[in-house]
Amino acid sequence: MSQDFLSALHQHERPAMRIGVVSGGLGAYWDQFPHLLPQLQSSVAYVAERLQSLDAEIIDAGFVSDAHDAVKAAEKLRLADCDLLVIYLTTYLTSSMVLPIAQRAGAPVLCIDLQPTEKMDHASFDTGDWLAYCGQCPVPEVGHVFRRAGIEFRSVTGWLRQDAAWDRIMQWARAAGARSRLRTARHGLMGHLYPGMLDVSTDLTTVSTTFGSHVEVLEFDDLRERVRGVGADLVDERISLVRDIFEMDPSVNEDDLRWAAQVSVGLDRLVADFDLDSLAYYHRGLAGELHEKLGAGMILGASLLNARGIPAAGEYELRTSVAMLIAQSLGAGGSFTEIQALNYLDGVVEMGHDGPAHLAISSRKPLLRGLGVFHGKRGWGVSVEFDVAHGPVTTLGLGQDRDGSFVLVTSEGSVVEGPLLRIGNTTSRVDFGRDPGQWVDEWSATGVGHHWALCVGHQAATVAAVASLVGIEHRHV
């Protein structure tokens, strides 16, 4: 997702996710088959090595052989406050050895059972050799007990070095990374709702109760004072950076560029002072007053925040900034997007927005264009224009149902070549492989709202895993 022209931007980082790991097998076997436990421990070491390659803190609770061991492991994992718990069923074990870990660890659980190779050597194997291959045996038992205990059951069955199995395990790990970001996220919400956008209105408490996130309510005054303190030298510095990152259209007015650069530095200070992971904002403004100018000067700085890994969305779109943070945590970008037009001859949906864009997923060096008017908003200034990188993409939105519960919504398509408007918008032509009008009808029926994140790559399966780990529904068109 990285672009060479963004190399000067400092990327926003958060502490790594925590993955708990515990392995187990039935202790009654060890005396009966002395060579079995060393073989299983060898497999455990390989799993640990693969998991250590993740950008994560691994908490290894060891190998359990009975229910007493399980209780000790559960306590260690409970104290670790993990984002995902991986339980490796190396051979048969009883569900009484798994349930207390799942109940007490306080994290979503993934059970894995990876036999040593693709198949047994039936001619040479004895009972002990076979037992190293029967990690699948307790999977239905654990699934049954989890259902009765009200614990969501997830599993990956395969063999130790099987790429397909590890792809599935790593997908759950990436989803755990998104859960980790959401649990610790601080979402900035600045200004007020765009008048009349009822779909955008979001209950802040539901964001915290669903994801564990904090919503920091900000005023444009908070930004105003930080922008006021930005000196000419820092503005010059920011303009130099902007000229390295953007292609400059002749329509860019120098005074507008300097103001946007000053606001951009102020935004960086705002994000740092409030320790923000995302920002959603809107201010209507009046008669050219300062707050109107601040609102109009946001696009450049917000786009640079997106490129640094701090999602920024206009029109007070808190839910979309959350969706953008999920996309960012998956390494998929996530640019603020809505439907702009349909092309029935080419079979594409044209989508994008006039607001902040995620520069890291641009198909080329982005363009900075000067605008005398922002449609539907007061003010004028500079705006970002580009097409998302061509190839597979996913639309990712955070919708809401009648009972107030959130739902993650996805659809997969491809960004394709073709004519685009040159009006200072991010615009992409997305082919969903079907009539674009029918796609709009099905997409609109999901409860998604009229903004979402446009992500690079096909991400629906991983987003479904994220939904599972945070405990909300996933809908796919």
pLDDT tens figures, 164-214:
999 999 999 999 999 999 999 999 999 999 899 999 999 999 999 999 999
In the chain the domains, ranked by start, together with CATH numbers, are 17-182 (3.40.50.10940), 185-476 (3.20.14)
Q: For the chain, how big is the Rg over CA atoms in Å?
A: 25
> What is the percentage of the chain residues whose pLDDT exceeds 90?
84
| Confidence category of residue 77, pLDDT binned at 50, 70, 90 | very high
What's the angle, vertex CA 187, arms to CA 311 and CA 452, rounded to 5? 45
Residue position matching structure tokens 């250590």: 52
Q: Say how far apart CA 284 and CA 378 lie, in whole Å.
A: 6
Q: Average pLDDT, stretch 435-440?
A: 97
Look at residue 317 and give its three-state secondary structure: coil
Q: Say how far apart CA 465 and CA 474 lie, in whole Å.
A: 9
Q: Average pLDDT, stretch 57-86?
A: 96
Q: Average pLDDT, stretch 258-283?
A: 96
Q: Mean pLDDT lowest for which of 3-7, 43-47, 69-73, 306-310?
A: 3-7
| Confidence category of residue 376, pLDDT binned at 50, 70, 90 | low
Residue 42 has a pLDDT of 96
Does residue 377 register a pLDDT over 60?
A: no
Q: Are 22 and 77 in contact (CB under 8 A)?
A: yes
Q: Say how far apart CA 385 and CA 222 lie, in whole Å.
A: 28
Write out pLDDT tens, residues 40-66.
999 999 999 999 889 899 999 999 999
- What type of residue is 465? A
Look at residue 398 and give its three-state secondary structure: strand
Q: Are 103 and 95 in contact (CB under 8 A)?
A: no
Residue in 293, 289, 281, 296 with CA at minimum distance from that of residue 219 = 281
Does residue 371 register a pLDDT over 80?
A: no
Residue position matching structure tokens 């993409």: 393
pTM exceeding 0.75: yes
- What type of residue is 117? T
Q: Say how far apart CA 113 and CA 91 lie, in whole Å.
A: 8
Q: Say how far apart CA 68 and CA 57 lie, in whole Å.
A: 26
Residue 379 has a pLDDT of 60
Q: What are phi and psi of 362, to 5 degrees?
A: -70, 150
Q: Are 18 and 180 in contact (CB under 8 A)?
A: yes
Residue position matching structure tokens 């702009």: 340
What's the angle, vertex CA 469, arms to CA 468 and CA 474, rounded to 5? 30
Q: Are 142 and 95 in contact (CB under 8 A)?
A: yes
Residue 40 has a pLDDT of 97
Q: Say how far apart CA 302 and CA 310 lie, in whole Å.
A: 9
Does residue 345 register a pLDDT over 90?
A: yes
Q: Mean pLDDT lowest for which of 84-98, 207-221, 350-364, 449-463?
A: 350-364
